[in-house]
Amino acid sequence: MAAKWIKRILMMAALAGIVGAFIWLMWPQPIQVDAAKAVLGRMQLTVDEEGISRIREVYTVSAPVAGKVARSPREVGDHVVAGVTTVAAIRSADPTMLDARTRVELAAAVEAAKAERDFASTAVLQAEKEFRFAEAELERTSYLVGKKVMALNALEKRQLDADSAQQQLKSARAQLDVRLHNLEIAEARLLEPASRSKAEPSDDCCISLTSPVNGIILRIPVKNEQVIQAGTPLVEIGNPFDTEISVDLLSTDAIQVKPGAPAVVSGWGGPDELKARVKRVDPAAFTKISALGIEEQRVKAILELTDPPAKWTGLGHEYRVFVHITIWQSENALKVPLSALFRWEGNWAVFKVEGGLAKLTKITTGQINSSDVQVLSGLSAGEAVVVHPSDLVADGVQIEMRAANKG
């Protein structure tokens, strides 16, 4: 009889265990969530864009005349001193080679110039003779008038003839000078490189160009000896301590950026971020094609570095950097992670952690950046909210914060 009751008791205990296990399995378990607290702290909104560093004033030394530039005596990166350091040397260009027809034409022009010279020389000799004759006539007439053999008006006539002869002589000599110069021009056009090399060398034919400013050489477009034309860029020089940052902003972002706004420069290769300040935002935009082939309206902004040069030593001309321009900031903003927000009935909302339950809470937001959102109403400092809420989280659902979020 006792064995029968023991068997019944064991069966009832087993059945109770099975029912308890089934109830435990079917009982809703708390949902594991990540949570973060609403905190008061510093928050800022920035415009982030890629830019380049550049030397503010780049001086280009160009060839003042056509000629042959010597091989550059300098290397990129050399330090130069204004008015002292020679950066380029140019020798005046040799005459060009002449083809057969041009040579014949120029030779004929030389012969014509010689004939004109001879003609002008003959005219000078004739004018000299006429002038001497007029002076002799003036002297004889003056003597006869003194003896009262001739009338006074005859003397005036001889004086007029003498003055006229003198002017004709001056004109003939001027014509001769013109013909002589024309002959020199015609002969110079016949010069060829072989003729030029026979001429006596002179230091006056070479021009040494010195640096216009103190700085370093940035580029040498013409490195080797070659023939160049006037205006050819030879050397680019700049002062590395006069560096600024140029960044092309979207026009919608540029409207929010004001001169004097603080900024931070990162990704330039140095260990620390650099402080900067917006110096200028251009009033006109330009069209730029993005990497995806989209036309964008961009606005150029210029930033000046406010950190001492010793902190950004090594930042060169046209280096790539990343710029973060502050357009809004607060030192005491109530903020929560942006990942806690979701849309609910056309408003922003979060799941607030309250007594182990998720409570749907509508909030009013202010500024939003890439990581945080400013809360204007709906939450208080220290209250926890669910971040990255899944589809399982709903209003009133029991939740449990993961171990990493507790405390």
Task: Please give the average per-residue pLDDT across 298-311, as a whole number.
Answer: 94
Per-residue confidence (pLDDT) for residue 147, from 0 to 100: 73
* CATH classification of the domain holding 355: 2.40.420.20
The 10s digit of each residue's pLDDT in 347-361 is 999 999 988 888 999
Whether 299 is in a domain gets the answer yes
Instruction: Please give the DSSP secondary-structure letter assigned to residue 360.
Output: E
Between 268 and 403, name the one with better pLDDT.
268
Residue 142 in any domain: the answer is yes
Residue-level pLDDT at 104: 83
Residue with the larger pLDDT of the pair 26 and 228: 228
Selected residue with higher pLDDT from 377 and 91: 377
Question: Does 208 share its domain with 347?
Answer: no
pLDDT at 331 over 50: yes
Residue 244 located in a structural domain? yes
CA neighbours closer than 13 Å in the CB half-sphere of residue 26: 6
For the record, the structure tokens of 312 come out as 């950004």
- Residue 96's pLDDT is 67
The least confident of 18-27, 177-186, 233-242 is 18-27
In the 3-class helix/strand/coil scheme, how is 234-289 assigned residue by residue?
A: EEEEECCCCEEEEEEEEHHHHCCCCCCCEEEEECCCCCCCEEEEEEEECCCCEEEE
Nearest one of 31, 17, 61, 39 to 236, comparing CA atoms: 61
Tokens for 142? Answer: 């003056």
What count of Cα atoms within 13 Å lies in the side-chain half-sphere of residue 228? 23
Look at 394 and 196; give whichever has higher pLDDT. Answer: 394
Q: Say if residues 86 and 73 touch (Cβ distance below 8 Å).
A: yes
**CA atoms within 13 A of residue 275's CA, in its CB half-sphere:** 7
Last residue of a domain, one of 295, 330, 365: 330
**Taking a C-beta distance cutoff of 8 angstroms, is the pair 359, 396 a contact?**
yes
Least confident of 27-31, 73-77, 184-188, 382-386: 27-31
Residues 231, 291: one domain?
no
Q: Specify whether 252 is located in the same domain as 398.
A: no
> Quick one: 246 and 324 in the same domain?
yes
Domain count, the chain: 4
Cβ-based neighbour number of residue 260 at 10 Å: 7
pLDDT of residue 205: 59
Residue 250, pLDDT above cutoff 60: yes
Please report the pLDDT score of residue 405 as a whole number: 57
Share of the chain above pLDDT 90, in %: 41
How many Cβ atoms from other residues are within 10 Å of residue 61's Cβ?
Answer: 19
pLDDT at 47: 94
Is the same domain home to 159 and 107?
A: yes
Q: Indicate whether 123 and 134 sit together in one domain.
A: yes
User: Could you say which of 301, 330, 359 is where a domain stops?
Assistant: 330
Better-predicted residue by pLDDT, 240 or 2: 240
Residues 291 and 252 grouped into a single domain: yes
Res 83 pLDDT > 60: yes
183 shares its domain with 219: no
- 131 shares a domain with 72: no
Per-residue pLDDT at 169 exceeds 70: yes
The average pLDDT across 3-16 equals 70
Residue 166 is assigned to a structural domain of this protein: yes
* Residue 53 neighbours by CB under 8 Å, 6+ apart: 243, 244, 245, 246, 268, 315, 316, 317, 318, 319, 321
Comparing 44-53, 74-83, 105-114, 395-404, which segment has the lowest mean pLDDT? 395-404
- Quick check: 192 pLDDT over 80? no
Domain membership of residue 21 (yes or no) is no
pLDDT tier, 200 (very low <50, low <70, confident <90, very high otherwise): very low
Answer whether residue 248 is part of any domain. Answer: yes
Question: Is the domain of 91 the same as that of 214?
Answer: yes
The region of weakest confidence among 250-254, 298-302, 353-357 is 353-357
Q: What is the pLDDT of residue 403?
A: 59
Residue linked to tokens 């503010």 = 56
What CATH number corresponds to the domain at position 292?
2.40.30.170
Name the pLDDT band for 1 (thresholds 50, 70, 90). Answer: low
- For 314, the domain range is 46-55+240-330
Q: Give CA–CA dist 155/139, Å, rounded.
A: 9
Rg of the chain (C-alpha set): 48
Q: Among positive and negative, which fits the CA dihedral 161, 163, 166, 167?
A: negative
Contact 398, 31 (CB under 8 A): yes
Structure confidence at residue 79 (pLDDT): 92
pLDDT value at 198 more than 50:
no
Q: Which of 198-212, 281-295, 297-311 has the lowest mean pLDDT?
A: 198-212
What is the rounded distance in angstroms from the CA atom of residue 299 to the CA atom of residue 286? Answer: 6
Average pLDDT over residues 108-116: 87
Q: What is the pLDDT of residue 183?
A: 85
Question: For 138-147, 234-243, 249-258, 350-359, which range has the lowest pLDDT when averaged over its residues?
Answer: 138-147
Q: CATH no. for residue 86?
A: 2.40.50.100
* Same domain, residue pair 179 and 104: yes
Which of 330, 356, 384 delimits the end of a domain? 330
Q: Mean pLDDT across the chain, nearest whole number?
A: 85
Is position 7 within any domain?
no
Query: Strand, coil or helix: what is 323?
Result: strand
Residue carrying structure tokens 């209250």 = 383
Q: Which of 373, 391, 344, 382 is nearest to 33 (CA)?
A: 391
Provide the pLDDT for residue 292.
86
The region of weakest confidence among 11-25, 142-156, 203-217, 294-308 is 11-25
Tell me: do 271 and 342 sit in the same domain: no
Burial 167-194 (b: 16+ CB within 10 A, else e): ebbeebbebbeebeebbeebbebebeee
Structural domain contains residue 318: yes
